[in-house]
């Protein structure tokens, strides 16, 4: 397998959206929004073009990762700039071959070199703990409702990056998507059936889990 990671280019846009759609379809709810989110993101003020990567296997794109600006807002309204990744995805037929790991690790290394303070993400802890992400509670960083959720995961990018930093996480508004807009965008893709699958239950259960340790 000849693996190559490089920045996303305009010629990749459609195939990246198609792969994202395959990876996320029916995973968290019937259908998915991720291909539309990526489409919007590229023109959004929070998009970080230098951290948009695709991974190729034998010259074919099989996955991607996208970053946006986010922040931690303290109790006194002081803002600390952070970054966030997502969507991150690998084409389903290439799962568990280490490609996601290569892509995430590469992007984290580049983000470190760019001098960013920390990465905040929402996701399953078992996906991201291997990279050193820890629950927000460990850093006194909550969601906007001041609760600590297990799904809020944080990785400081340099020594002491989060010393004396606490507050709540704020993600880009690019993720606020209306179902009807996503559905309209989806019409330009091959028809695909929206349906229930068991992974949706895991997602529903996980997003509300509080970190009470
Ligand atoms: C999440 C995703 C990007 C991982 O990509 P991948 O190439 O399959 O992951 P890797 O093979 O590099 O796995 C690296 C490690 O992550 C963890 N991991 C990845 N997928 C996992 C899963 N389904 N269950 C448990 N652990 C998992 C494991 O620790 C794994 O190491 P291992 O295979 O040695 O046990 C891929 O499964 C995907 O595209 N999923 C659908 C979209 C999605 O959920 N994206 C994340 C939310 S934005």
Q: Is the CB of 95 under 6 A from ligand 1?
A: yes
Give the pLDDT of residue 207. Answer: 83
73 Cα to the center of ligand 1, angstroms: 30
Average pLDDT over residues 146-175: 97
pLDDT of residue 213 exceeding 80, the answer is no
pTM for this one?
0.96
179 Cα: distance to centroid of ligand 1 (angstroms): 26
Q: In this predicted model, what pLDDT tens digit does every residue of 15-52 receive, in sequence order?
A: 999 999 999 999 999 999 999 999 999 999 999 999 99
Whose C-alpha lies nearest to ligand 1, atom 32? 96
CA dihedral 10, 55, 61, 121 (to 10 degrees): -70
Q: Which atom of ligand 1 is nearest to the CA of 95?
A: 8
Give me ligand 1 centre to Cα 95, in Å. 7
Q: Across the chain, what does the average pLDDT equal?
A: 96
Q: What is the pLDDT of residues 132-153, one digit of tens each?
A: 999 999 999 999 999 999 999 9
Q: What is the pLDDT of residue 1?
A: 86
Which atom of ligand 1 lies nearest, measured to the CA of 124? 47
Kindly report the CA angle at 40 between 134 and 90, in degrees rounded to 5?
A: 50
Measured from the Cβ of residue 130, the count of other Cβ atoms closer than 10 Å reads 11
154-158 mean pLDDT: 98
Domains along the chain with CATH numbers:
3-173 (3.40.630.30)
């Amino acid at each position: 397998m000849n693996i190559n990671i490089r920045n996303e280019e305009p010629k990749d846009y459609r195939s990246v959206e198609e792969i994202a759609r395959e990876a996320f379809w029916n995973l968290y709810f019937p259908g998915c929004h991720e291909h539309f989110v990526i489409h919007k993101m590229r023109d959004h003020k929070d998009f970080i073009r230098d951290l948009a990567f695709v991974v190729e296997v034998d010259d074919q794109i099989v996955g991607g990762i996208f970053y946006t600006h986010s922040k931690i807002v303290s109790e006194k309204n002081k803002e600390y700039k952070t970054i966030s990744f997502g969507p991150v995805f690998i084409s389903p037929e290439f799962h568990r071959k280490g490609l996601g790991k290569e892509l995430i690790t590469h992007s984290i290394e580049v983000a470190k070199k760019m001098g960013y303070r920390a990465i905040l993400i929402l996701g399953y802890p078992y996906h991201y703990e291997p990279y050193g992400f820890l629950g927000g509670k460990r850093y006194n960083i909550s969601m906007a409702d001041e609760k600590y959720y297990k799904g809020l995961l944080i990785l400081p990018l340099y020594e002491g990056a989060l010393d004396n930093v606490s507050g709540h996480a704020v993600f880009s508004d690019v993720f606020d998507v209306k179902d009807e807009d996503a559905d309209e965008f989806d019409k330009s893709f091959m028809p695909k059936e929206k349906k229930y699958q068991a992974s949706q239950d895991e997602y529903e259960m996980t997003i509300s889990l509080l970190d009470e340790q």
